[in-house]
Amino acid sequence: MAMRRPGTEHDRSVFSRRSLVLFGAQGALAAGLGARMYQLQIVEGEHYAARAERSRIRPSLLAPVRGQILSRDGKPLAVNRHNYRVVLYRENTGDLTQTLERLSEIIPLPPLRREALIEEITRTRAFLPVLLAENLKWEEFAEVNANAPALAGIAPELGLTRHYPEGDYTGHIVGYVAAASERDIQRAGADGPVLKLPDMRIGKSGVERVEELALRGKAGLSRIEKDVHGRPMRELERREGTPGEELTLTLDLALQKYAMQRMGTESGAVVVMDVYDGDVLAMASTPGFDPNGFVLGWSQKEWVALRDDEKRPLNNKAVSGLYPPGSTFKMVVALAAMDAGLVGPGHSVYCGGHIELGSHRFHCWKRGGHGTMNLHDGLKKSCDIYFYDIAKRIGIDRLAEVARKFGIGVLPEIGLVDAKTGLMPDKAWKRARKNEPWHPGETLHAGIGQGYMLGSPLQLAVMASRIANGGYQVHPRLVRARDGERIKARSLRGTGIDKQYVDAVHRGMYGVVNELGGTAYKSRIALPGHEMCGKTGTAQVRRITTSERATGVLKNNELPWKLRDHALFVAFAPADDPRYAISVVVEHGGGGSTVAAPIARDVLLKLQFPKEIPEGAVPQGADPVFVAKNDDDDENEDV
Answer whether residue 127 shows pLDDT above 70: no
Q: Which residue among 164, 199, 233 closes a domain? A: 164
Q: Is residue 556 part of a domain?
A: yes
pLDDT of residue 545: 62
Cα separation, 67 vs 246, whole angstroms? 5
144 and 257 together in one domain: no
518 and 406 together in one domain: yes
Answer whether residue 112 shows pLDDT above 90: no
Nearest to 382 by CA among 515, 577, 551: 515
Using alpha carbons only, how large is the chain's radius of gyration in Å?
Answer: 36
Q: What is the mean pLDDT of residues 223-232?
A: 60
Cα separation, 513 vs 529, whole angstroms? 14
Q: Is residue 300 part of a domain?
A: yes
Q: Which residue among 145, 164, 183 closes a domain? A: 164
Q: Is residue 463 part of a domain?
A: yes
Higher pLDDT, 551 or 508: 508
Answer whether residue 4 shows pLDDT above 80: no
The DSSP call for residue 242 is B
444 and 347 together in one domain: yes
297 and 406 together in one domain: yes
Percent of the chain with pLDDT over 70: 87
Cα separation, 299 vs 289, whole angstroms? 14
Q: What is the mean pLDDT of residues 509-516?
A: 97
Band of pLDDT at residue 228, cut at 50, 70 and 90: low
158 and 265 together in one domain: no
Answer whether residue 525 shows pLDDT above 90: yes
CA angle 381, 386, 389 (to 5 degrees): 165
414 and 511 together in one domain: yes
pLDDT of residue 547: 59
Q: Which residue among 137, 164, 191 closes a domain? A: 164
Active-site choice (267, 285, 327, 583): 327
Q: Is residue 6 part of a domain?
A: no
159 and 262 together in one domain: no
CA angle 591, 593, 597 (to 5 degrees): 115
> Of 126-135, 149-158, 417-426, which gets the smallest average pLDDT?
126-135
Q: What is the mean pLDDT of residues 486-506?
A: 92
Q: Is residue 395 part of a domain?
A: yes
Q: What is the mean pLDDT of residues 538-559?
A: 69
Q: What are the backbone angles phi and psi of residue 609, rounded to the nearest 5°?
A: -130, 75
Query: Mapping DSSP to helix (H, G, I), strand (E, B) and coil, where does residue 454 land?
Result: strand
Answer whether residue 348 shows pLDDT above 90: yes
Q: Is residue 110 part of a domain?
A: yes
Answer whether residue 257 shows pLDDT above 50: yes
Higher pLDDT, 90 or 283: 283
Query: Mapping DSSP to helix (H, G, I), strand (E, B) and coil, where does residue 333 land?
Result: helix
Tell me what the pLDDT averaged over the chain comes to. 87
pTM: 0.84
Ranges of H-type helices in 264-346: 292-296, 300-308, 317-320, 330-339
Domain that holds residue 98: 84-164
pLDDT of residue 632: 52
Q: Is residue 46 part of a domain?
A: no
Q: What is the mean pLDDT of residues 521-534?
A: 96
543 and 420 together in one domain: yes
pLDDT tens track for 325-340 = 999 999 999 999 999 9
Answer whether residue 253 shows pLDDT above 80: yes
pLDDT of residue 462: 98
pLDDT of residue 552: 62
Q: How many structural domains comprise the chain? A: 2
pLDDT of residue 100: 86
434 and 317 together in one domain: yes
pLDDT tens track for 9-63 = 666 666 676 677 777 777 777 777 777 676 666 766 665 555 555 455 666 677 7
Band of pLDDT at residue 555, cut at 50, 70 and 90: confident
pLDDT of residue 84: 85
> Of 412-421, 440-449, 450-459, 616-625, which gets the smallest average pLDDT?
616-625
Q: What is the mean pLDDT of residues 593-602?
A: 96
pLDDT of residue 221: 80
Tell me, what CATH number does 289's domain have? 3.40.710.10
pLDDT of residue 1: 47
pLDDT of residue 91: 72
- Among this protein's residues, is 327 annotated catalytic? yes
365 and 493 together in one domain: yes
Answer whether residue 311 shows pLDDT above 90: yes
Q: Is residue 130 part of a domain?
A: yes
Band of pLDDT at residue 554, cut at 50, 70 and 90: low
